[in-house]
Amino acid sequence: MTKIAVAKGDGIGPEIMDAVLSIFNAAKVPLEYEFVEMGKWVFDKGYSNGMTPEAQHTIESLGILFKGPMETPKGKGVKSVNVTARKTWNTYANKRTFQTLHGVDTVFSKAGIPIDVTIVRENIEDTYGGIEHMLTRDVALSRRFITRPGSHQVIKYAFEMARKKGARRISCGHKANIMKITDGLFLEVFYEVAKEYPELKADDVIVDDLCMKLVTRPDLFDVVVLTNLQGDIVSDLCAGLVGGLGFAPSANVGDHISIFEAVHGTAPDIAGKNIANPTALLLSGIGMLQHLGLMENASLIENALLYTLESGIHTGDFGDKSTPALNTTEFAGAIIGNFGKKPLQNAKPELHNIPSSCTVVNLDANAMMESQETIKERIVGVDMFIESNVQPEVLAKKCQRHAGVKFKLVNISNRGTQVWPTGSRFTNLVNQYNARFESIDGETLNQQDIIGLYVSLSGDFKICSLELLNAWGDKKAYSLAQGQ
Ligand code: NAI
């Protein structure tokens, strides 16, 4: 029997977790539970990461954590245990499934438009590294990392999941028309991976267009994979399409450890009253059973849940107000009573359990550090971010004096828009410029050349930051300024 770690959480957490586990027990789910200490009361005991060392050890040795919502104490300078867990254990893919639940009224369910969309969001990189600096008193910078191995991990997971799900289409949401290098890399990896899955229709959609299409024709989408921030926004949009966050399950999947939880919080306003809705946590639990290959148990429970919702049974937070609401325990009991029944719409096929494959990770050798790029890398220039409030022509003259024999000043931009050698006097300027220096005739430079330029420029300016301009062969590994 597979053993998993369970953290009941805070607020309504214990009530909804007990309800879900009672459903699992009635369905004879072949799992054993080891309860671990995580959440507010663990912070209060003095553990600054919100979990006891025993909890961490148990989760790391079992590999699966099923968790209720947890509260982060405010004003104590501690970080959310939910985020810590996702980052510490490298759960690089956030999977959220959104489906029409008959009985949960939305404009789409009323219009008879079925929704069954799975959003896979990259969970570690992007602006969520939180690497931010004030460069001048008026200019803030956030660094956005998109890496090839990080993109590959999450995209590969999305394709594997789509294949298992029997999906017809997988789409990549992105903004590569603007962020040509970062989102461009994500998109490039998407199409590389797509070649291994010829049976799936793979395409890409620009994220703003994706949002519009999801709202007008959600039934056209199946699996969508996105970078972190865009995925965060799009997944909440999809939650709205199917009735709100209360019906949104979530899986944070990694190679070694995966976390299954509901998206909603601890609902302190209704905690302890046994009236909370356990549906989102149950849907997350069903996702966990599927992840573990327990397809038979998953479809039995999911069909019973869908049948129960379809028959109009509800807790107090949704459904027909003219029929009495059930409390949490009664709602779980109603689902158990409906085992073996199938909903009229969206019934899940009865699948057989499949042995789950547990990846063994070699933590001594970090495979993500090995680059597959074989073409030699060359430094061909540098972007110097300079604090200055003089006009571009004045700045250019000064910069040119520092260029020496190895560099030429190619252009100057302000907030990404070129302002020298050509530009418009209508462009608003802030007190930080990017002066781009490239090597003369594309010669290869070294780091000492860059430092030499830095030292020279620093006699005249405060240099806030610099970025090397790399090239692989003839391919420039940096973007052009708007208007360049
Ligand atoms: P919340 O999701 O807890 O509550 C928002 C509203 O939705 C409340 O009116 C609540 O009663 C209702 N609600 C939420 N879940 C429900 C359920 N299952 N059944 C019926 N009604 C439900 O969001 P809020 O108030 O912003 O956060 C409360 C606490 O939860 C905070 O401490 C926050 O840090 C934590 N939180 C934890 C999360 C996690 O563990 N993954 C995620 C989001 C918030």
Task: Give the C-alpha separation, 40 to 27, whole Å.
Answer: 31
Q: Kindly state the tokens that stand for 35.
A: 């309860």
Structure confidence by residue, pLDDT tens digits, 51-73? 999 999 999 999 999 999 999 87
Structure confidence by residue, pLDDT tens digits, 381-414? 999 999 999 999 999 999 999 999 999 999 999 9
Q: Across all residues in the chain, what is the average pLDDT?
A: 92
So what's the pLDDT on residue 247?
A: 85
Which residue ranges form the domains of the chain, and what is each CATH number?
1-91+267-371 (3.40.718.10), 93-253 (3.40.718.10), 377-476 (3.30.70.1570)
Residue nearest to atom 18 of ligand 1 (CA): 277
| Ligand 1 nearest-atom number relative to CA 80 | 34
Residue nearest to atom 10 of ligand 1 (CA): 267
Instruction: Say if residue 293's pLDDT is above 60.
Output: yes
Residue nearest to atom 26 of ligand 1 (CA): 265
Structure confidence by residue, pLDDT tens digits, 199-230? 999 999 999 999 999 999 999 999 999 999 99
CB-based burial of residue 261 (10 Å sphere; 0-12 exposed, 13-18 middle, 19+ buried)?
Answer: buried
Rounded to the nearest angstrom, the distance between the alpha carbon of 250 and the centre of ligand 1 is 14
Rounded to the nearest angstrom, the distance between the alpha carbon of 265 and the centre of ligand 1 is 3
Pocket test for ligand 1, best of 40, 266, 274, 331 (most atoms within 8 A of CB): 266
Structure confidence by residue, pLDDT tens digits, 408-459? 999 999 999 999 999 998 999 999 999 999 999 999 999 999 999 999 999 9
Rounded to the nearest angstrom, the distance between the alpha carbon of 11 and the centre of ligand 1 is 9
Instruction: Say if residue 482's pLDDT is above 80.
Output: no
Residue nearest to atom 34 of ligand 1 (CA): 71
| Ligand 1 nearest-atom number relative to CA 68 | 40
Residue nearest to atom 20 of ligand 1 (CA): 276
So what's the pLDDT on residue 39?
A: 93
Structure confidence by residue, pLDDT tens digits, 162-187? 998 889 999 999 999 999 999 999 99
Task: Give the C-alpha separation, 99 to 96, whole Å.
Answer: 10
Pocket test for ligand 1, best of 264, 274, 284, 317 (most atoms within 8 A of CB): 264
Instruction: Say if residue 358's pLDDT is above 70.
Output: no
Rounded to the nearest angstrom, the distance between the alpha carbon of 381 and the centre of ligand 1 is 50
Residue nearest to atom 43 of ligand 1 (CA): 265
Q: Which of 195-204, 238-247, 311-320, 470-479 has the highest mean pLDDT?
A: 195-204
Ligand 1 is surrounded, with C-beta below 6 A, by 12, 16, 69-72, 82, 246, 261, 264-270, 276-277, 317
Residue nearest to atom 4 of ligand 1 (CA): 267
Residue nearest to atom 23 of ligand 1 (CA): 265
pTM attached to this predicted model = 0.88
Rounded to the nearest angstrom, the distance between the alpha carbon of 268 and the centre of ligand 1 is 7
Rounded to the nearest angstrom, the distance between the alpha carbon of 279 and the centre of ligand 1 is 14
Structure confidence by residue, pLDDT tens digits, 96-129? 999 888 888 888 888 888 899 999 999 999 998 8
Chain Cα centroid distance, residue 174: 13
| Residues forming a β-bridge with 117 | 98
Task: Give the C-alpha separation, 452 to 469, whole Å.
Answer: 16
Q: How far is CA 195 from CA 151, 198, 370, 450, in A?
A: 15, 6, 22, 41
Mean pLDDT of 144-151: 95
Confidence of residue 25 (pLDDT cuts 50, 70, 90): very high
| Ligand 1 nearest-atom number relative to CA 280 | 18
Confidence of residue 307 (pLDDT cuts 50, 70, 90): very high
Confidence of residue 362 (pLDDT cuts 50, 70, 90): low
Instruction: Say if residue 251's pLDDT is above 90.
Output: yes
So what's the pLDDT on residue 360?
A: 46
